[in-house]
A = this chain, B = another copy of it.
Amino acid sequence: MNDPLSVLPNLVKENDKKIVLLVLDGLGGLPFKGKTSLEVARTPNLDLLSSNNACGLLDPVLPGITPGSGPAHLSLFGYDPLKYQIGRGILEALGVGMKVEKGDLTARGNFCIVKDGIVTDRRAGRIATEVNRKLVESLNKEIQELEGVKITFKSGKEHRFVLRLRGKALSAEVSDTDPHKKGEPLLKSKSKSKDESARRTAGIVNKLTEKAGKVLEEMDEPPNGIALRGISGYPDLPQFPEVYKLRAKSIATYPMYRGLTELIGMDVDYKPKTSQDEIQSLEESYNDYDYFYIHIKKTDSYGEDGNFEKKVEKIEEVDRFLPRIMKLSPDVLAVTGDHSTPATYKAHSWHPVPLLISSRWTRISNVSAFNERECARGNLGRIPSLYLTSLLLAHSERLDKFGA
């Protein structure tokens, strides 16, 4: 009932206003010696913007829930993350930069050790990523097709890879071959529905597993089997540019965020390698789009590494870029994160994320700085990330009244 996508498409109209959404991944933090990275960072530009505008805190999913990057971003784009769930295989494929299309099936895979049909090491001793690349190369050479279905492997880190099946009438209604613990037999994939396509797909997965085992046996590396899980199909997501009537551009340096925004129909710039490149991409295409999503990855990476100081520095770097964004005079500028990644916690966390919205239609927050503590007393209060897109559309004067 509270799904904004059940309301917004009937209210939204086109105009020429510009929206910029700047997402610092894992922005929120926890105090170390009394202060968070965002509190320690010198951010004069963000501080000034926030004191004159609207501030608050965003809950990515629900209070207490720590989100992965997929659901956290869906929520920022106005898609209820509890309703729109993207399969693990697809998210993994996006993460390694593998293209997926309607009809594709994807799975997360592990290289593993199998003895007499029993998985004795699910990660094959965490082989080096270099070894992984060699194995994937052989697999792609030796197994290109099965029963008319195109097979593609792509390396992840260490023992992980992604498998993509491309062909007609594939079904995601099939079970994992990964037993999920060691000492158990490698499983046969089974059809989870009475559908003929599911039975056929399970058969292909099993043949593929057998064939991959044979290819691996003949190589000089420990893994001799593959274990698949999270077999999933291309998600049927509402298309962002259509439902919001926005020409939308995605500017990100990491595959996961490029892939996810492509899934929802944004135009993705695949060139940027640095934050500097990202700002340049915004500047160069500013006239061609209505909505820009800019993703800064390193704030999250440093949080995960437990590198408090580097996270501070990355935040300060972004603050220095801010005048270049302001110079474009976007009608609405929002700065926030997809979730919190406190450097002290070294992982994604459930804490709500600071948000700042700058536009001519905001109230004044009267906070003294852009950080967790000040945003907690900002004039937007604490709201679900799910409503951010509604707010951006409203501030860009794109929403008609609901009811008379």
Contacts and interface: CB of A to CB of B under 8 A. Distances in A.
Interface in A1-37: 1-4, 6-7, 11, 30-31, 34, 36
Q: Copy number of this protein in the oligomer?
A: 2
B404 A68 contact: yes
A349 B378 CA distance: 19
B82 A30 contact: no
Interface stretch (A145-153, A185-193, A281-289, A369-377): A369-377
Main secondary structure of the interface of A (DSSP, over half): loop
Contacts of A351: 363
Contact of A402 (B66, B88, B365): B66
Contacts of A379: 372-373, 376
Interface in A331-383: 345, 348-352, 361-366, 372-373, 376-383
A65 B399 contact: yes
A6 B80 CA distance: 14
A366 B69 CA distance: 30
Interface string A387-400: 10111111000011
Given A65-B394, A68-B404, A403-B91, A1 B80 contact: yes
Nearest to A28: B363
A321 to B, nearest CB: 26
A263 interface: no
Given A57-B381, A361-B345, A7 B403 contact: no
A68 B381 contact: no
Given A66-B401, A363-B376, 19 more contacts: A2-B62, A36-B363, A61-B402, A62-B390, A64-B387, A64-B391, A66-B402, A70-B403, A81-B402, A88-B404, A92-B404, A349-B361, A350-B390, A350-B391, A350-B399, A363-B372, A372-B379, A377-B377, A382-B383
Interface of A: 1-4, 6-7, 11, 30-31, 34, 36, 57, 61-71, 80-83, 85-86, 88, 91-92, 95, 345, 348-352, 361-366, 372-373, 376-383, 387, 389-394, 399-404
17 contacts: A1-B3, A2-B62, A11-B65, A63-B387, A64-B399, A65-B390, A68-B401, A69-B404, A81-B403, A91-B404, A350-B394, A351-B363, A363-B376, A364-B373, A373-B379, A376-B379, A376-B380
